[in-house]
């Protein structure tokens, strides 16, 4: 029991309430509906219905059937459909959580990380006009230099080469000096 409790505490420590709140607000803004203030983040997402509806807003028709009632296997099917749809949307497989992480509430932080990955991926789809979640991913910025510019750059001595107009690190001291005591 102690090991299980330690593992649960460790996983709970990975959770970031600020990121969870941002993800919840992002979903609310996409769906256009507010969740009750008493609703818990885990419980909102657990059955996969909200996730499927969110994905269908990002890419209409990406999840054909959403099971809103039924047993736990129907709800887990929603989660699996969501996972498949976000991978087709462009979310890397490494960012996708496992079904049991959400359904059994084992590791909710991976679910939040997955939602952030989905938010980043939505930047790459011009048909989606927002809102977005997380920072915009960097785009490739290829630069081409002429041979003349490359040759000119080779003749410049960089500041890391040890020449900076006579400046040196002589006389600098970072903390106490090292003392080695022999014979003790």
pLDDT-derived band at 173 (thresholds 50, 70, 90) equals: low
Of 1 and 58, more confident: 58
Helices (H), the chain: 2-14, 17-31, 41-46, 49-58, 72-89, 99-103, 108-122, 147-154
- Note the pLDDT of residue 69: 81
What does the mean pLDDT of the chain come to?
A: 82
When pLDDT is averaged across residues 141-160 and rounded to a whole number, the result is: 81
Please list the helix, strand and coil fractions of the chain in percent, rounded to the nearest 5, in that order.
Answer: 50, 0, 50
- The tokens for 60 are 């209409």
Look at the alpha carbons of 47, 38, 107, 24 in this order and tell me if their dihedral is positive or negative: positive
Mean pLDDT, residues 135-147: 85
Tokens of 62: 């990406």
- Dihedral, CA of residue 17, residue 92, residue 51 and residue 65, to nearest 10: -170
What is the pLDDT confidence band of residue 75, given thresholds at 50, 70 and 90? confident
Q: Which residue matches tokens 């500041």?
A: 159
pLDDT digits 0-9 by tens, 10-33: 666 677 888 888 888 899 999 888
Tokens of 21: 């709140």
Residue 13 is predicted with a pLDDT of 65
């Amino acid at each position: 029991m102690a090991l299980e409790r330690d593992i649960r505490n460790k996983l709970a420590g990975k959770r970031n309430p600020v990121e969870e709140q941002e993800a919840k607000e992002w979903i609310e803004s996409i769906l256009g509906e507010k969740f009750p203030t008493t609703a818990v983040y885990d419980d909102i997402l657990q059955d996969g219905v909200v996730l499927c509806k969110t994905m269908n807003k990002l890419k209409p028709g990406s999840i054909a059937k959403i099971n809103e009632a039924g047993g736990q296997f129907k709800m887990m099917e929603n989660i699996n459909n969501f996972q498949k749809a976000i991978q087709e949307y462009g979310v890397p497989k490494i960012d996708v959580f496992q079904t049991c992480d959400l359904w059994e509430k084992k590791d909710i932080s991976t679910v939040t990380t997955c939602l952030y990955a989905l938010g980043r991926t939505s930047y790459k789809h011009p048909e989606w006009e927002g809102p977005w979640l997380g920072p915009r991913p960097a785009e490739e910025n290829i630069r081409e230099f002429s041979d003349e510019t490359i040759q000119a750059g080779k003749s410049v001595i960089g500041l890391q080469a040890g020449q900076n107009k006579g400046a040196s690190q002589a006389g600098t001291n970072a903390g106490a000096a090292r003392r080695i005591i022999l014979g003790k």
